């Protein structure tokens, strides 16, 4: 029974490895002592030695029985180690002939036993005791040889050989078990990672699918409700219809929250900045929130700085979403009193402004201990007080992500049961010198309601000779589109499948086709391509617009790359539908009834033709470790694709959703598994596709090909584009940044791409990239060194500081510095500049992870003792680099002269 339990514990995967190792060592040691005892009997060893062997065997059995029965394995290891070190080994030393037998080998075994089975402070104590006892044994044996039991020379050789053999076997089995266990742990961790990744992908697919399925009925509700508003109905019915419209929009925002969080977690979220009318955006916002506040009898105040520019350049959709989420929460958690939206302007320079949005309420407030979790996805604070309030727990998490994506900030001040204030600062660009002036948005909202009641729908055009085909597998959607386009007087035909659509296009010509994407049997994309290639088809050149419930910029980019002429996302309003019809129909078929249409037409051209493309754009990955100011001031010629930083809390975009100092704090405090992952081939493809709308050619600079999969993935993606060149920097971190800086400089001077690539190729061999690392655990996790090596150095209490370098596109350990951290740093700095080529003293990067200002100053002082650089840049390593090197690491990165 005890033996079975012993085997089960040793093989138990979830148990601590040191506990399993201790029992294995004890088992082997017990068997070894039994062998020693039996061999001693066979070779007629003296009674004292036999007694020691027998005593050791009995003691080992007792310790193992105690450990297993009472589950005190760690305590048993300490007791066993103490007895071995202080009793068994010294007695065996004197009983077996001291250095003339196998006793010295058993002292080695004792040290290994303590190293492998005991940890923490007790390991240090036992090792000190062990070496003291060993030294005392040698000293006493030397000074008092009479205490040593004499043996024959033959016995001494036999004992020495037998001890060496047994200890070798035991140590070998210990290391074999350790290596096998480490491999099992790695394999299990990898399997768990794959399972987690698959679960995340399944979750994202679920969210996307649910968003699509929910948008379809909402499209029907909003569309049919809009038709009610167009009719001559009573004020009461119109008021109800307006409330339905507002409620539908709020429901749509909840769906968008779920989809946005899914995109944020998968790293697919992108900003879409453009010029927008501030007054229009605020008017829509106030109209939406005012109804919710009125339902709860709350006062809703709006205070807008009259110096606010009338037109700003930013992501209007995301800014509005941020404010809607915060304002909706304010109304939701306020039982009585008021909600106030205040907007102020902070001028930064000529065209850069900081817009400060403040939302205050008189609601229940937030407990102090709950504030740190306020922006955590799916987390609702103070659930006991708020259990009757609906919500997904996603709103504020999305707000924070969007704010940080726009280089803004969000702060919260709250007193529990007294109210809450959120302050959001978002930097934007002024487009016009005209200011918004004094506004009364509350009065404007009331005027909008009056206008709606009076019937504010006006036909802007007619197209009685136009023929439009609508393809959708949902009959209600077909009905909605037909009704919304009824006033255009166009001839509307419908088809409920791709096959039916192809039959209609074979028989008749249509000037415009609205095509759903997800349909059974034949989806919209397949139908579109068959339409273009249809033999005898009459619509090969007709305009085709996607009308789909698949939301997201990634889908829009896909539809555009497939060749569609437009894209509308359900739910779609009558105005949006008419604007798209006006844009896509041939001009001779359209009769303009309202001059407003000409403006709408000009603004609805997919942003084509209004932006002069750059001749060459430099792109790179976020691991280039360049100063934030440099990256921000070169956005016109430089674009950066973020790596992924994967933690137990989720997947974050490097330097966008996470930064190195916060990540290091997490690594030190939480101790969780963190890894960096390069963008996938698909992400590179999407990135290149988007950037090629801005430039005719792209040079993308990646990290060394042997360090990450970034170069391979980018190269695979670049095969899709003839005008994208991927350059392997052969470096990492700011070493790669040197090449990016040079490429940007040459691109700004309009140097040709071939010359830039030639210059980079020559320059890459002159860049010296080295890092000194304080903790080998992070290198082991990143597979920069063998995990076994890291475990062994820790087991033997070694504290090496490895120096990493990049050679032949691979990161390797150049050398290892021992001693105190300060001495190791000085030695590293001194040897870093011992190069075969002269050092280029124009610029040095000191790129670090988690170092204090004092430490950086000491490093700079030591550097200047060796080389006098004209400029030194202290650069915080990106999150992806920090994951691999760990806190306390820094690198000296510079160029040499050819």
DSSP result, 154-178 = HHHHHHHHHHHHHHHHHHHHHHHHH
How many C-beta neighbours within 10 Å does residue 712 have? 16
Q: Band the pLDDT of 530: cuts 50, 70, 90.
A: very high
* Residue 394: predicted pLDDT: 65
Residue 268: the pLDDT is 63
The answer to whether residues 468 and 545 touch, using CB atoms and an 8 Å cutoff, is no
Asked if 693 and 610 touch (Cβ cutoff 8 Å), the reply is no
What pLDDT is attached to residue 842? 92
pLDDT over 90 (residue 728): yes
Q: How many CB atoms lie within 10 A of CB 415?
A: 12
Torsion of CA 718, 719, 720, 722, to 10 degrees: 80
Which DSSP state fits 896?
E
How far apart (Å, rounded) are the C-alpha atoms in residues 140 and 103? Answer: 14
- Measured CA to CA, the distance from residue 165 to residue 168 in angstroms comes to 5
Residue corresponding to tokens 């971190």: 733
In this predicted structure, the answer to whether residue 610 has a pLDDT above a threshold of 50 is no
* pLDDT reported for residue 311: 92
Region 648-653 average pLDDT = 78
Question: Considering only CA atoms, which of 356, 324, 342, 375 is closest in space to residue 426?
Answer: 356
Q: In this model, does residue 511 exceed pLDDT 90?
A: yes
Bridge partners of residue 425, in order along the sequence: 356, 409
Please give the radius of gyration of the chain, using alpha carbons only, rounded to the nearest integer. 36
Q: What is the mean pLDDT of residues 128-150?
A: 86
Note the pLDDT of residue 466. Answer: 93
625 or 781: which leads in pLDDT: 625
Q: How far apart are CA 207 and CA 200, in angstroms?
A: 11
Distances (CA, A) of 797 to 23, 121, 590: 22, 11, 83
Task: Name the pLDDT band for 58 (thresholds 50, 70, 90).
Answer: confident
Give the pLDDT score at 608: 28
For residue 194, CA distances in Å to 197, 204, 266, 549, 691 come to: 5, 15, 15, 30, 31
Reading the block at residue 445, the tokens are 């909202």
Among 429-433, 724-728, 748-752, 781-785, the minimum mean pLDDT is found in 781-785
Q: Peptide bond preceding 256: is omega within 30 degrees of 0, i.e. cis? A: no
Residue 638 has pLDDT above 50, yes or no: yes
Q: Does residue 150 carry a pLDDT above 50?
A: yes
Q: Tell me the sheet residues that pair with 677.
A: 644
3-state secondary structure of 559: helix
Residue 745, pLDDT above cutoff 90: yes
The answer to which of 178-182, 588-592, 725-729 has the lowest mean pLDDT is 178-182
Q: What is the pLDDT of residue 94?
A: 81
- What's the average model confidence in pLDDT over 674-685? 85
Q: Provide the pairing of β-strand 409-415 with 543-548.
A: unpaired
* pLDDT at 491 (0 to 100): 94
> Once rounded to an integer, what is the mean pLDDT over residues 353-377?
81
- Residue from 554, 492, 870 nearest 689 by CA: 554
CA gap 720, 702 in Å, rounded: 17
Contact indicator for 664, 850 with CB cutoff of 8 Å: yes
How much of the chain is in helix, strand and coil states, percent to nearest 5?
55, 20, 30
Q: pLDDT by residue (tens digit) across 263-289?
A: 666 666 778 888 998 988 888 788 778
Higher pLDDT, 657 or 543: 543
For helices 821-832 and 853-866, what crossing angle results, to 10°? 40
Confidence class of residue 353 from pLDDT cuts 50, 70 and 90? very high
Residue 95 has pLDDT above 50, yes or no: yes
Residue 43 confidence (pLDDT): 63
Is 70 exceeded by the pLDDT of residue 599? no
HSE-up of 836 (CA within 13 Å, CB side)?
3
CB 859 within 8 A of CB 890: yes
Pick from 190-194, 308-312, 344-348, 785-789 the range whose average pLDDT is largest. 308-312
Q: Measured between alpha carbons, how far is 34 from 379 in angstroms, rounded to an integer?
A: 59
Note the pLDDT of residue 895: 92
- Per-residue pLDDT, averaged over 421-427, amounts to 88
Q: How confident is the model at residue 456 (pLDDT cuts 50, 70, 90)?
A: low
Check residue 238 and give its pLDDT: 74
Cβ atoms of 107 and 132 closer than 8 Å: no
The CA distance from 683 to 385, in Å, is: 43
Q: Nearest to residue 487, comparing CAs of 512, 459, 515?
A: 459
Average pLDDT, the chain: 79
Rounded to whole angstroms, how far apart are CA atoms 585 and 593?
15
* Most confident stretch, 66-70, 349-353, 492-496: 492-496
The pLDDT, as a whole number, for residue 289 is: 84
Contacts of 852 (CB under 8 A, 6+ apart): none
């Amino acid at each position: 029974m005890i033996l079975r339990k012993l085997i089960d514990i040793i093989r138990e995967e979830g148990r601590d490895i040191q506990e399993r190792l201790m029992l294995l060592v004890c088992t082997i040691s017990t068997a070894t002592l039994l062998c020693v005892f039996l061999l001693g009997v066979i070779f007629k060893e003296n009674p004292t030695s036999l007694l020691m062997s027998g005593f050791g065997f009995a003691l080992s059995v007792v310790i193992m029985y105690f450990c297993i029965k009472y589950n005190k394995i760690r305590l048993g290891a300490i007791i066993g180690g103490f007895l071995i070190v202080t009793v068994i080994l010294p007695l065996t030393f004197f009983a077996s002939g001291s250095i003339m037998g196998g006793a010295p080998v058993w002292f080695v075994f004792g040290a290994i036993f303590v190293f492998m089975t005991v940890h923490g402070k007790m390991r240090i104590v036992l090792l000190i005791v062990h070496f003291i006892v060993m030294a005392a044994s040698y000293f006493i044996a030397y000074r008092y040889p009479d205490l040593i039991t004499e043996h024959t020379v033959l016995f001494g050789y036999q004992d020495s050989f037998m001890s060496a053999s047994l200890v070798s076997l035991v140590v070998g089995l210990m290391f074999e078990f350790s290596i096998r266990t480490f491999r099992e742990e790695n394999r299990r961790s990898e399997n768990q990672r794959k399972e987690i990744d698959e679960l995340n992908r399944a979750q994202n697919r679920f969210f996307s699918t649910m968003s699509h399925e929910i948008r379809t009925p909402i499209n029907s509700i909003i569309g049919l409700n809009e038709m009610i508003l167009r009719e001559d109905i009573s004020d009461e019915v119109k008021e109800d219809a307006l409330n339905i419209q507002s409620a539908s929009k709020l429901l749509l925002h909840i769906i968008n929250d779920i989809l946005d969080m899914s995109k944020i977690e998968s790293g697919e979220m992108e900003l879409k900045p453009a010029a927008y009318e501030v007054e229009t955006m605020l008017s829509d916002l106030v109209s939406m929130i005012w109804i919710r506040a009125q339902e709860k009898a709350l006062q809703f105040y709006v205070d807008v700085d009259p110096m606010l520019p009338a037109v700003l350049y930013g992501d209007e959709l995301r800014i509005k979403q941020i404010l809607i989420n915060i304002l909706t929460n304010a109304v939701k958690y306020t039982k009585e009193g008021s909600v106030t939206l205040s907007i102020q302007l902070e001028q930064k320079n000529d065209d850069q402004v900081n817009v400060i949005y403040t939302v205050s309420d008189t609601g229940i407030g937030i407990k102090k201990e709950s504030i740190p979790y306020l922006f955590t996805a799916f987390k609702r604070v103070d659930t006991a007080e708020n259990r009757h309030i609906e919500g997904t727990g996603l709103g504020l998490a999305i707000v924070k992500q969007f704010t940080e994506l726009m280089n803004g900030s969000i702060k919260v001040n709250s007193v529990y049961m007294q109210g809450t204030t959120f302050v959001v600062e978002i930097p934007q660009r002024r487009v016009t010198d005209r200011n918004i002036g004094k506004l009364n948005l509350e009065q404007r909202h009331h005027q909008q309601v009056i206008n709606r009641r009076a019937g504010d729908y006006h036909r802007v055009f007619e197209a009685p000779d136009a023929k439009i085909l609508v393809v959708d597998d949902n009959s209600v959607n077909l009905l909605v589109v037909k009704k919304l386009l009824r006033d255009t007087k166009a001839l509307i035909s419908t088809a409920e499948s791709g096959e039916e659509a192809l039959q209609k296009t074979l028989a008749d010509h249509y000037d415009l086709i609205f095509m759903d994407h997800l349909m059974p049997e034949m989806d919209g994309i397949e139908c579109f391509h068959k339409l273009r290639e249809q033999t005898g088809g009459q619509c090969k050149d007709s305009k085709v617009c996607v009308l789909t419930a698949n939301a997201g910029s990634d889908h829009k980019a896909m539809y555009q790359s497939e060749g569609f002429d437009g894209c509308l996302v359900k739910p779609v309003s009558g105005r949006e539908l008419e604007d798209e019809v006006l844009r896509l129909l041939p001009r001779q078929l359209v009769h303009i009834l309202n001059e407003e249409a000409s403006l709408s037409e000009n603004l609805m051209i997919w942003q084509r033709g209004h932006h002069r493309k750059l001749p060459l754009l430099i792109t790179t990955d976020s691991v280039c470790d360049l100063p934030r100011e440099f990256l921000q001031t070169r956005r016109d010629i430089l674009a950066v694709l973020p790596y992924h930083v994967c933690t137990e809390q989720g997947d974050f975009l490097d330097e966008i959703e996470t930064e190195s100092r916060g990540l290091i704090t997490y690594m030190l405090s939480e101790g969780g598994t963190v890894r960096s992952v390069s963008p996938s081939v698909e992400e590179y493809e999407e990135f290149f596709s988007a950037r090629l709308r801005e430039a005719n050619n792209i040079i993308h600079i990646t990290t060394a090909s042997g360090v990450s999969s970034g170069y391979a993935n980018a190269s695979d993606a670049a095969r899709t584009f003839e005008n994208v060149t991927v350059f392997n920097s052969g470096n990492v971190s700011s070493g790669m940044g040197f090449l990016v800086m040079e490429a940007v400089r040459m691109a700004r001077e309009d140097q040709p791409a071939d010359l830039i690539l030639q210059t980079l190729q020559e320059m890459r061999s002159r860049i010296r990239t080295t890092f000194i690392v304080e903790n080998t655990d992070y290198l082991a996790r990143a597979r920069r060194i063998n995990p076994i090596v890291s475990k062994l150095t820790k087991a033997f209490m070694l504290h090496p500081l490895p120096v990493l370098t990049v050679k032949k596109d691979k990161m390797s350990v150049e050398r290892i510095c021992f001693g105190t951290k300060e001495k190791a740093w000085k030695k590293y700095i001194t040897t870093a500049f011992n190069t075969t080529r002269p050092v280029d003293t124009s610029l040095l990067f000191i790129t670090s992870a988690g170092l204090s200002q004092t430490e950086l100053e000491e490093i700079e002082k030591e550097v200047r003792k060796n080389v006098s650089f004209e400029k030194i840049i202290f650069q915080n390593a990106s999150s992806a680099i920090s994951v691999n090197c760990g806190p306390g690491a820094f690198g000296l990165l510079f160029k040499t002269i050819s």
